[in-house]
Amino acid sequence: MKTQTELSSKQQRFCDEYLTDMNATRAALAAGYSKSTALSGQLMNMPAIAGYLAGRLKAIREQFEVSHQMIVAELAKIAFANVGNYFADDGRLKPMQQLTDKEKAALWNLKVTEHTDGSTTVQLRLCSKLSALEKLAKHTGFYKMTKKEKVEELTAKQLAKDAELDAEYFRLEKWGDELLDKKLELDEREKELVKLEEELKRKKSECGGQKPDVGGTKGAQADACASIGILTNRDVDVATEPVKIIGHLPGQYTPEGYLIKTDMPADRDITDPNYNPFACRYIEKKTGTMLIKSYLLSPPDDVMESWRRSKAAMFKALKAEALEN
């Protein structure tokens, strides 16, 4: 029959887990207890568990000769550390060999970064003075606490909270630089998305246009241009989505998939004798973060000849329309 001081296998596992990091909640969950039991702290109040942990902690203190005076002395090194003691009179950081043992004990982190330009950055961080002062004051009885407050101070819940805060502090120190790099990367991606949205709006505006007039001069121009595949406002108004047409004219695409653009004004009159739809054409290629603008050469002779015939037909239609009027 199990006595009151004996632990079950589940309780034993809880005690073993607790002694690794003094976190009662994590230890209870690892031992298989429910979340409500782990958060309630009831296990730490059980006489069998409390007595077992007290004996184990006493044995650890005796093995490593840890005394209350040693703990207070270490807290005092942190609480009364002065950051000015780590710098020489000329403002430079002292070498490690010039620091005293007390000054070294108060160091939390010392990070040296060498840059590509030959310069060096040194980051010095001391342990939390505020936390050390608070713990030191409580250890020395500086605060007048009631008996109940003293009992609560010595509970494993408070010790677990301190351990969690120290672990979180270390985690933030370790991953701080990586989190900053991630933020910079997200900022760059956000800028690229803004550029893409602006480009999409611009392309949508290019696909829009004025309402075509049925018949008249613009109607004759559209019919004449249709034979060589020039996209007119009438075509764009009817289309629900842009159609990728392989060709040589602005608004069409090269065989490689690049959109052909032009530097000529959008309202250029195509009845102008000097009008040439193949002039000032270019495509844009993206190389890394750069956008390269490449102008195109004249199209093949058969395409130019087809344009000349279509242009002649357009002027013939315009002349006939003028005579009728």
What pLDDT tens digit does each residue of the chain (325 aa) get?
Answer: 444 568 899 999 999 998 888 889 999 999 999 888 888 888 998 989 999 999 988 888 788 777 778 888 888 888 898 888 888 888 888 888 888 988 888 888 888 888 888 887 878 888 888 888 888 887 777 766 555 565 666 665 666 666 676 666 556 555 555 665 676 677 778 888 888 888 888 877 776 544 444 444 445 455 544 544 444 444 444 444 556 788 888 888 888 888 888 887 777 777 777 777 777 888 888 777 777 888 888 788 887 788 788 877 777 777 777 777 6
Which residue in the block uniquely carries the two structure tokens 């003028």? 322
CB 39 within 8 A of CB 54: no
The tokens describing 147, both together, are 């008996």
One domain, residues 138 and 233: no
How many independent structural domains does the chain possess? Answer: 4
One domain, residues 15 and 100: no
One domain, residues 187 and 200: yes
One domain, residues 105 and 11: no
Domain boundary among 143, 172, 193: 143
Pairing of strands 120-126, 107-114: antiparallel
One domain, residues 94 and 169: no
DSSP code for 228 = T
Question: Does residue 307 form part of some domain?
Answer: yes
Range of the domain at 8: 1-66
Positive or negative, the CA dihedral 93, 97, 103, 104 is: positive
Positive or negative, the CA dihedral 70, 71, 77, 80 is: negative
Domain boundary among 143, 169, 191: 143
Question: Does residue 223 form part of some domain?
Answer: yes
User: Where are the extended beta strands (E) located within 117-245?
Assistant: 120-126
Please name every residue paired with 120 in a beta bridge, in sequence order, or none if there are none: 114
One domain, residues 121 and 222: no
Q: Using CA atoms, how far apart are residues 208 and 206, in angstroms rounded to an integer?
A: 5
One domain, residues 299 and 221: yes
One domain, residues 224 and 175: no
Q: Give 308: exposed, middle or buried? Use CB within 10 Å, 0-12, 13-18, 19+.
A: exposed
One domain, residues 245 and 286: yes
The tokens describing 255, both together, are 């065989």
One domain, residues 105 and 82: yes
Domain boundary among 90, 114, 143: 143
